[in-house]
Chains A and B, each alone.
Chain A
Amino acid sequence: MTSAQPAVVARDLSRTFGAFVAVDRVSFDVAPGEIFGFLGSNGAGKTTTIRMLCGLLAPSGGSATVLGFDVGREAAEIKRRIGYMSQRFSLYSDLTVEENLRFWGGAYGLFGREIAARTEWAIATAGIEGQRHTLVRELPGGFRQRLALVAALLHQPPIVFLDEPTGGVDPEARRRFWDLIDTLSGTGTTVFVTTHSMDEAERCHRVALMHAGRLLALDSVPALKSVFAAGAIVEVTCHHPVAAMAAIERLPGVEDVALFGDRLHVVLAHAPAEGVAAIVQELRGEAPVVTKVPPSLEDVFIHMIARAEGRAA
């Protein structure tokens, strides 16, 4: 094996539950040391994909390998070599920090001096010194999240799968968590992370956009945003944004319109000048303020979904 070999390879990976297609012929490669983001709304198929890659769920079609092992046939080999942090908090809340670390380390065959050393590493890395004898249920949410991450890293896996790891923690805790992910990636660990948060996706090296079981796009964040290179995004503030949406949609050169809180984001197919003029003309009396804004990942995501659904319709 060379270091250039992908950590994960998925080819037409599919999973159905009865008639429901949860994951529909998804293909991608993940490079070693990469922070690979899986972005999508709930029910997009992110968790199903991750569970297949971790050997928890058999694929219904296609294939995938993790570290060169087939997810269907060699799940046992994969389990020994990966770290996994599920959506739900999954440490024992009635055990202390240290008891949890010792148990989960033991589950990966770490005993004696090895687990003692790794426990110290985990406590230091998670930044929870002084809490080693605290029951996990008494820890603040951010601490627990970091503890769950380091618990998944005790056996020093070359790849770690994180399924919406920062649900329900405050922004500061979330930032610290992502600092930890950056450190990991810096030392060569591959990080496969699902999220529905755009901020988190911005911190990934590459982002895969999932919607309704399908992979809509896969690229680095700047490359994804370059989809708007020929046109522009303008932000419109006015008195009645919901009513204005329909009016703007009908204008020539407008690709789509999305509501962002109390403002509208309008995707223009061409350079902004004439489009902006048309919008101002259309919304006269609404006191519109139209500004060109840099595209956000959310713009990309909404645009991709609209395009995919337009194609499907």
Chain B
Amino acid sequence: MNVNLQILKKLHIAAMPVTTIAAQEFRSYFDSLMAYILLVLFLGFSGTFTWIYGSDIFIYGQASLQVFFSVAYVTLFLLIPALTMKSIAEELRTGTIEMLLTKPITCRQIVMGKYLAVMMLISTALALTLPYYITVAHLGNVDHGAVVCGYIGLLFMSSAYAGIGLFASSVTSNQIISFLTALAIGLLFHVAFGIVGHQFGGIVGQFCLGLDMNTHFDSMARGVIDSKDIVYFASITFIGLFAAGKSLESKIA
């Protein structure tokens, strides 16, 4: 019991700087209007294409959120790099990183804090789309399991892109470069691996298809949570965050 308390205490101490940074970062999104712009864009895009325009829900005529999930999938792909591009790059540019790193904090904790803040904002954005779900549930018989899986899928996919974005933000002090780098790496997973995978057969094709995000996201959006998909998203997140931490450490070596 005593030992457990000790571990909890240690965990608490390790988490404290992370939550401090996450809270500050989350607040700064709202202070700088970033959060409002992102929310308006996200809800605007996904709302328009889900309900009003193009192959919307009424064309399908099914009480499902499939359409929303595929729209959100694309929207988040574009918005997350815009959200993460500032995270670390701005600290490097203004030199405030020096203030942070001369406090009892490690590079990893800074990256974790920033990651949590991004995920909190994405979760807020997704939570604000719950009215879609309620509306659709009134229109017909919704597969509740599939909806829950779809939301979890969006969160996992956002987490992967947040990892990539934070890495891109940690390698440069220029926000534009950071944004474009994140978008370029993102495009690999979003489009390129899929195309290559479908073109080639054999081992190479299989391998590329395995790296393609669509494959993993689609199965989740249809309501199947496979450990394979979770491992996929978790590894991209982990590698992104780990690389971001390392690149930040190299900045002060």
Chains A and B are bound partners? no
Which residue numbers of A lie inside 8 Å of B, CB to CB? Answer: none
